Amino acid sequence: MAAGGFCKLPTGSVVVALNLPRPAADGTDCVRVLVHAQNRARALTRLRNLGLRAVYLRGNAAPPTPDEITAVLHHPDGLIWRTAPDNAVVAAGPELAQELWHPIRALLRRPAAPA
């Protein structure tokens, strides 16, 4: 089950954050997806309409951080992702670069077929 959570904003809208598995060669890659919507149901509907059919939010175990909320509010689509941080790895200081947020279309883009 995907870890996730939500945060209700003073305007009445919500930001939903979900850690989802990403198809990879070794099968261990995860992404953190952020969605800004009027309510939790609409946020999940936005993801389901993009083809992520088995997305559910159970509980509030991993709510979005203030930095994540700021990132999704400043994105025109209100739907962004980046590779989820590995909790088993201890950060080695400032030399560990933070990945930037990507628009959701970059995640859903199909790779080109080999010639």
Instruction: Return the domain boundaries, the chain.
Output: 4-85
Predicted confidence band at 52 (pLDDT cuts at 50, 70, 90)?
confident
pLDDT, position 88: 44
Collect all residues with Cβ–Cβ distance below 8 Å to 81 and sequence separation of at least 6: 31, 32, 33, 34, 101, 102, 104, 106, 107
- What's the mean pLDDT in 90-108? 68
Q: Where are the beta strands (DSSP E) in the chain?
A: 4-8, 14-21, 30-37, 79-83, 102-103
- What's the mean pLDDT in 68-94? 76
CB 24 within 8 A of CB 1: no
More confident residue, 115 or 2: 2
pLDDT, position 14: 96
- Does position 55 have pLDDT exceeding 80, yes or no? yes
CB 20 within 8 A of CB 1: no
